[in-house]
């Protein structure tokens, strides 16, 4: 009886771990006029939405750019989200950044919680 209970508990914990996998990130910041644009990849194990981004200077703006940029409340993540100054979705931070500076970036997802990542500032 005890072995069955422990086996069921182990199976439940492993299925929960798969269901709540934290998204993986590879990020950098590229300086632009008046701030920086977040660049890199965010990969999630399932469909989700990026609902907020914060860094040292404050909250970032989530934007959809097709063809003009407008601020949105969330960015869909369908497996892999590529962010850059040329992508359809962009994340812009206001403030002054120096090349080589390391910035902690906090990303909030609708279903998968909060992820804290490091981004290094690069030049234009």
pLDDT in tens, 84-103: 989 999 999 998 888 899 99
Are 124 and 31 a contacting pair, CB within 8 Å? yes
DSSP string for the chain: -HHHHHHHHHHHHHHHHHHTPPPEEEEEEEEETTEEEEEEEEEEEEEEEEEEEEETTEEPEEEEESSSEEE-S-EEEEEEEEESTTSSEEEEEES---TT-EEEEEEEETTTEEEEEEEEEE--
Dump pLDDT digits (tens) for 27-73: 999 998 889 999 999 888 778 899 999 998 788 999 999 889 999 99
Phi and psi torsions of 123, nearest 5° = -85, 170
pLDDT at position 57: 78
Tell me the domains of the chain and their CATH numbers.
22-122 (2.60.40.1890)
pLDDT at position 14: 47
pLDDT at position 15: 46
Q: Mean pLDDT across the stretch 11-17?
A: 46
* Res. 21 pLDDT band, cuts 50 70 90: low
């Amino acid at each position: 009886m005890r072995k069955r209970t422990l086996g069921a508990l182990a199976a439940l914990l492993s299925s929960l771990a798969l269901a709540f996998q934290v998204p993986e990130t590879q990020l950098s910041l590229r300086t632009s006029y008046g701030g920086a644009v977040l660049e890199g990849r965010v990969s999630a194990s399932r469909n989700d939405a990026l609902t907020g981004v914060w860094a040292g200077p404050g909250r970032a703006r989530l934007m959809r750019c097709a063809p003009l940029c407008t601020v949105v409340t969330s960015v869909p993540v369908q497996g892999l989200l590529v962010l850059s100054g040329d992508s359809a979705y962009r994340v812009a931070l206001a403030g002054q950044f120096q090349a080589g500076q390391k910035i902690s970036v906090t990303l909030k997802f609708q279903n998968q919680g909060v992820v804290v990542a490091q981004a290094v500032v690069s030049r234009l």
